[in-house]
Amino acid sequence: MHQVKLEANIREKTGTGVARKLRRQGRVPAVLYGPHLQTPMVLDVNAKEMERVLRTAGRTSIISLNVPDGPQTVMLADYQRDVFGTHLLSVDFKQVRLNEKVTASVPISLVGQSKGIKAGGVLEQMVREVQVEALPLDLPDSLEIDITELDLGERLTMADLPVSDKMTYLVVPDETLAVIHTPRSLLVTDEEEQAETTETAE
């Protein structure tokens, strides 16, 4: 679990023109939402520092957001980039309490070289992140699943996610997470071998 710090200013003005001016100054418009805030806090953050946070921390990381009214414990809720994916346009933060459970999306990482891939199969990962509920500090940066033993035609389901007593998966257990497809070329080869075996037996 990453914990990072980020400085933020409170914005007194809003609007498209203000946002564009901020971006020209190397700042990014931001908003902080939360159940313990009477109204959302309208902020701006340093663009380079925000990019650093995005590189080093994921959506489940805890951010100490330093604002003039005092530090806020937050998580990244969402962010937007321009059409080229180059520049940040805006950032949304959500306020959290370390003793209150939150719902978050955690990336799924498949590790290992499976038997099926070695045999010529093709891996398809249907689900790349999963919703979980946990205390903020118990949220993992990612969930790793070892696929070494996964063979041709076999699949992983949500039931194969790592067991944890610190978080609850908000999923359907039998939903397919990943599968090793058998290529048509291998199926044709198998069919030809079966045909040859039958002819030999006759």
Q: Say if residues 132 and 170 touch (Cβ distance below 8 Å).
A: yes
Same-domain check for residues 196 and 116: yes
For 15, the 3-state DSSP assignment is coil
Same-domain check for residues 133 and 65: no
Higher pLDDT, 3 or 138: 138
Same-domain check for residues 18 and 62: yes
The 10s digit of each residue's pLDDT in 169-190 is 999 999 999 999 998 876 665 5
State the CATH number of the domain containing residue 89: 2.40.240.10
CA atoms within 13 A on the CB side of 193: 6
Same-domain check for residues 57 and 129: no
Q: How far apart are CA 154 and CA 180, in angstroms?
A: 6
Same-domain check for residues 161 and 85: no
Same-domain check for residues 169 and 121: yes
Task: Provide the residue type at 105 as one letter.
Answer: S
Of the residues 72, 96, 120, the one at which a domain ends: 96
Same-domain check for residues 91 and 162: no
Q: How far apart are CA 141 and CA 99, in angstroms?
A: 19
Of the residues 96, 117, 141, the one at which a domain ends: 96
- The total of other beta-carbon atoms located within 10 Å of residue 6's CB is 23
Question: Which range has the worst mean pLDDT, 18-32, 88-102, 143-157, 188-202?
Answer: 188-202
Q: Say if residues 124 and 116 touch (Cβ distance below 8 Å).
A: no
Q: Take residue 61 and report the two structure tokens written for it.
A: 């990381």
Q: Which domain holds residue 78?
A: 3-96
The 10s digit of each residue's pLDDT in 69-116 is 889 999 999 999 999 989 999 999 999 999 999 999 999 999 999 999
The 10s digit of each residue's pLDDT in 32-43 is 999 888 899 999
Same-domain check for residues 26 and 90: yes
Number of domains comprising the chain: 2
Of the residues 96, 129, 151, the one at which a domain ends: 96
**Which DSSP symbol is given to 38?**
S
Confidence of residue 55 (pLDDT cuts 50, 70, 90): confident
Give the helix/strand (H/E) hosting 146. Answer: strand 143-146
Task: Provide the residue type at 143 as one letter.
Answer: L
